[in-house]
């Protein structure tokens, strides 16, 4: 792979701009300080836009990504205006605030999709990496919170937020370590990411940690990539001729489980399919299934535009499949209706309808196929390491409602820009 650290590339030659980009990247990776309910990276991004307004305001919708983003915003705005009666209506201004938040997240994606090629990716990755390390330290060792209404300091994220943030920014960390130290740095970084995720005692995080490790290692060690390709072909052939067998999968899981049992008991149980690892009786998994059912119920009634940005947990569904989940019967309907979608794809489809969901797929699918293509062919440079985060995020979005945040939209914009380098 080509070492790009010393390559001369066009950049926005502005120290003030670079300073605010560094601030934004650091606080995206370590979202700990809030002023007037907004994180520091929000204000940093506003300053970045002001500094580059003469550039960014010119032909802003100049690529496919931004055109889709613009259509997605218009579609979501229509959905929010035409939303049905909400059982838990948050009020007019909170709904306006939610639309503005989506506009802001979309703008982050559009900005980096357009202008990443002119920015110093190495410096962006450096400050994300610094924030990444601080985030890990804060999550495991600092359980404090300061809330003074206009000022809030929350160094330790919730487990789900920490896991998703770690996944989204792990690729930047690995890119920086490769550029700074080389293969050894990226190898050590990959194991650091795995350890950071698996010690959370989260099941999805632990599984994705291993996927990120395997993908990143196979990008810099050709023999591992060849092994991955051969293994994939082997499993596809086995699947075609023998079909899927949960018993066979659990046999493989039982081989791994003893090595992770002491540091992540929940992931170990998942590998063995025992106790709370048995998804047929696990309340967390059953709740996710019920929320997907709610999404389909919403789509059956509001198929075109859905129910509007952020309204999934405000909409009162009759939860017609509730009776199928015996282990959830102790929870009442009102409580269940105020839960998040627990699935980014199902939740986004319910909120924006078929139109919004198709537009989202137009953002995600081409980038996924691009990664798989260049990975399979081996025709890539070190920038592709950042896209490893994209693959991990796509998987994790199936188990968590995480489309609402700056981290994923930054990652989508960056990945699009890398795809078109």
Distance from C-alpha of 71 to C-alpha of 363, rounded to nearest angstrom: 11
| Residue closest to 363 by CA, chosen among 377, 375, 347, 345 | 345
Distance from C-alpha of 127 to C-alpha of 172, rounded to nearest angstrom: 9
Provide the H-helix boundaries in 243-343.
Answer: 246-260, 265-272, 283-301, 333-337
pLDDT confidence of residue 201: 86
Distance from C-alpha of 366 to C-alpha of 370, rounded to nearest angstrom: 6
Instruction: Give me the residues paired with residue 35 across strands.
Output: 38, 151
Helix (H) or strand (E) holding 390: helix 384-396
Instruction: Give me the residues paired with residue 33 across strands.
Output: 153
| Tokens at 80, concatenated | 């929010």
| Residue closest to 359 by CA, chosen among 68, 105, 107 | 68
CA distances from 322 to 203, 224, 247, 309 (A): 24, 45, 28, 24
26: exposed, middle or buried (C-beta count within 10 Å: 0-12, 13-18, 19+)? buried
What number of other Cβ atoms are within 10 A of residue 362's Cβ?
15
Helix (H) or strand (E) holding 78: helix 64-81
- Write the DSSP symbol of residue 34: E
Helix axis angle, 15-29 to 159-180, nearest 10°: 130
pLDDT confidence of residue 268: 73
What number of other Cβ atoms are within 10 A of residue 196's Cβ?
23
Lowest average pLDDT, out of 5-9, 88-92, 155-159, goes to 5-9
| Residue closest to 3 by CA, chosen among 158, 144, 180 | 180
Lowest average pLDDT, out of 44-58, 170-184, 338-352, goes to 44-58
> In what order do the strands lie in the sheet containing 38-39?
38-39, 33-35, 151-153, 146-147
Indicate if the pLDDT at residue 55 is higher than 80: no
Indicate if the pLDDT at residue 8 is higher than 70: no
pLDDT confidence of residue 7: 41
The pLDDT tens digits for 97-139 are 999 999 999 999 999 998 888 889 999 999 999 999 999 999 9
In this prediction the pTM is 0.90
354, 198 in Cβ contact below 8 A? no
More confident residue, 419 or 242: 419
Average pLDDT (206-214) is 91
179, 4 in Cβ contact below 8 A? yes
More confident residue, 54 or 311: 311
DSSP code per residue over 189-230: HHHHHHHHHHTTT-HHHHHHHHHHHHHHHHHH-HHHHHHHHH
Indicate if the pLDDT at residue 3 is higher than 50: no
Indicate if the pLDDT at residue 256 is higher than 80: no
pLDDT band at 246 (very low <50, low <70, confident <90, very high): low
122, 5 in Cβ contact below 8 A? yes
Indicate if the pLDDT at residue 9 is higher than 50: no
Q: Is 151 helix (H, G, I), strand (E, B) or coil?
A: strand
The pLDDT tens digits for 287-306 are 999 999 999 999 999 999 99
Distance from C-alpha of 112 to C-alpha of 171, rounded to nearest angstrom: 16
Q: Quick one: the chain helix, strand, coil %, rounded to 5? A: 70, 0, 30
Distance from C-alpha of 113 to C-alpha of 345, rounded to nearest angstrom: 22
């Amino acid at each position: 792979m080509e070492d790009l650290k010393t390559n001369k590339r066009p950049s926005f030659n502005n120290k003030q701009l670079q300073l605010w980009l560094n601030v934004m990247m650091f606080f995206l990776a370590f979202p700990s300080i809030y002023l007037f309910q907004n994180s520091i990276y929000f204000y940093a991004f506003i300053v970045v836009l002001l500094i580059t307004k003469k550039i960014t305001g010119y032909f802003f919708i100049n690529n496919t990504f931004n055109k889709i983003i613009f259509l997605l915003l218009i579609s979501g705005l229509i959905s929010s205006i035409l939303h049905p009666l909400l059982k838990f209506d948050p009020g007019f201004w909170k709904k306006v605030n939610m639309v503005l938040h989506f506009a802001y997240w979309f703008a982050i994606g559009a900005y980096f999709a357009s202008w990443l090629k002119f920015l110093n990716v190495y410096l962006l990755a450096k400050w994300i990496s610094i924030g990444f390390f601080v985030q890990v330290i804060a999550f495991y060792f600092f359980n404090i919170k300061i809330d003074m209404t206009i000022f809030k300091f929350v160094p330790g994220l919730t487990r789900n937020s920490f896991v998703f943030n770690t996944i989204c920014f792990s690729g930047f960390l690995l890119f920086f370590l490769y550029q700074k130290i080389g293969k050894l740095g990226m190898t050590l970084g990959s194991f650091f990411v795995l350890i950071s995720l698996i010690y959370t005692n989260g099941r999805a995080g632990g599984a994705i940690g291993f996927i990120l490790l395997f993908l990143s290692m196979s990008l810099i060690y050709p023999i591992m990539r060849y092994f991955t390709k051969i293994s994939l072909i082997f499993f596809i052939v086995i699947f075609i001729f023998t079909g899927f067998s949960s018993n066979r999968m659990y046999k493989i899981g039982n081989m791994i489980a003893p090595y992770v049992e002491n540091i992540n008991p929940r992931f170990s149980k998942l590998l063995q399919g025992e106790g709370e690892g048995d998804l047929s009786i696990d309340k967390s998994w059953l709740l996710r299934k019920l929320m997907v059912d709610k999404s389909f119920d919403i789509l059956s009634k509001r198929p075109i535009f859905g129910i509007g940005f952020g309204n999934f947990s405000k909409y009162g569904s009759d939860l017609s499949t509730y009776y199928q989940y015996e282990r959830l019967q102790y929870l009442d309907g009102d409580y269940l209706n105020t839960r998040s979608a627990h699935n980014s794809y199902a939740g986004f489809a319910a909120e924006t309808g078929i139109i919004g969901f198709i537009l989202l797929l137009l953002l995600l699918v081409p980038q996924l196929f691009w990664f798989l293509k260049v990975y399979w062919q081996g025709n890539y440079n070190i920038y592709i390491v950042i896209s490893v985060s994209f693959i991990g995020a796509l998987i994790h979005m199936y188990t968590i409602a995480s489309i609402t945040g700056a981290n994923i939209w930054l990652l989508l914009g960056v990945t699009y820009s890398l795809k078109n380098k």
